[in-house]
Amino acid sequence: MSDSQWLPLESNPDVINKFVAKLGLKPTWQFTDVYGLDPDLLCIVPQPVCALLLLFPCSEKYHEYATTEVTRLEKEGQHLDSSVFFMKQTIGNACGTIGLLHAISNNKDSLDLDDGYFKTFIEKTASMTSAERGAYLEGDESISAAHEESANEGQSEVPSERDSVNLHFVALVQKNGHIYELDGRKPFPINHGPTTPESFLQNGAEVCKKFMARDPSELHFTIMALSQM
């Protein structure tokens, strides 16, 4: 992680949809709140859903689990589809924008993208490594300015760039029959098992439940779905 710091994004569909529209996502797909993970509440989420953005607290329990998980996967290996778009996070508090880039880039063939930042980013970074993509983002002043503008539009009090923020965004996407957790602070994507476009929301909800179960006393979990409207 470099010394670069951005303001954190708020997990707020109104703010996020305005942000992604500026970057080139047409409003046929939008982010919506997931109000709960029970079947009755998942049923009200507009479908199809092609990605989930999970915001969760980075507790000591989470860090311990994440370290153990990465060590285990480095030893045992996992199936990683070569078409999964993944990038490293080198900028503090950039996890919201990186989550959006993961969600959009891995669904570029399904989404309606205007000429704009998303399309340019995907094209320019297609052949880069995950580290090179992170460095490209860090050097791009246009996206940092757009991120800061959106960060200032939320309903919550905006912390300074140097404030310690204990919340983190990750993206969940479906790619060729598997569900992947994409977290730019980890060395690689995490395969969470089989899924289909039709069952992705339910399977993604089960992954989110595992995050919550590791910190049952924490309340600061929010989920947004990228849905076709």
- Asked if 95 is an active-site residue, the reply is yes
What pLDDT was estimated at residue 216? 84
Stretches where the chain sits below pLDDT 50 are 158-161, 163
Closest CA to 95 of 23, 184, 159, 197: 184
Please give the structure tokens belonging to residue 25. 């996502």
| pTM to 2 decimal places | 0.93
Residue listed under structure tokens 């570029």: 108
Please give the structure tokens belonging to residue 129. 């490594």
For every residue of the chain, DSSP letters joined together read --S-B-PPPP--HHHHHHHHHHTTB-TTEEEEEE--SSHHHHTTS-S-EEEEEEEEE--HHHHHHHHHHHHHHHHH-----TT-------SBT-HHHHHHHHHHHTTTTTS-B-SSHHHHHHHHHTTS-HHHHHHHHHT-HHHHHHHHHHHTTSSSPPPPTTS---EEEEEEEEETTEEEEE-TTSSS-EEEEE--TTTHHHHHHHHHHHHHHHSTT----EEEEEEE-
What pLDDT was estimated at residue 60? 87
What pLDDT was estimated at residue 215? 86
What pLDDT was estimated at residue 161? 47
Out of 50, 95, 147, 178, the active site residue is 95
Out of 147, 168, 178, 208, the active site residue is 168
What pLDDT was estimated at residue 154? 58
